[in-house]
Amino acid sequence: MKTVKTDDKAVVVIPEGSIDISNSQGLKEKLLELYDEGYNTITIDFTHVNAIDSSGLGKLLLFHKLLKERHGELRVSNVTNENVSRMFRIIQLDKVIKII
């Protein structure tokens, strides 16, 4: 998982493969690290993500809530995989998290 710090308050996280029960804890730890460093805008680039399960979705919603509480924002970008896109539509994630 790569991170690209775009400025003092914004960062892009670039996971690869699937985000599921086997590795969602690693995503949570990375997001928590960035949150603790003071980043208020975290974008997760889904270009290389081919699947996500409920544990991964739970981590996204958790950090959306944490960032919102301190007037920040979690964003999701480049959802190119149809299965991931379908999952986001089914749970209406776009009504909660900004998808760009």
- Average pLDDT score over residue span 38-42: 96
- Average pLDDT score over residue span 15-36: 96
Domains and CATH numbers, the chain: 2-99 (3.30.750.24)
Residue 8 has pLDDT above 90, yes or no: no
Contact assessment for residue 32 and residue 65, using Cβ atoms and an 8 Å cutoff: no
- Average pLDDT score over residue span 2-24: 94
Question: Considering the entire predicted model, what is its pTM?
Answer: 0.93
Contact assessment for residue 77 and residue 44, using Cβ atoms and an 8 Å cutoff: yes
The 10 Å Cβ neighbour count of residue 51 is 13
pLDDT digits (tens, 9 = 90+) for 43-83: 999 999 999 999 999 999 999 999 999 999 999 999 999 99
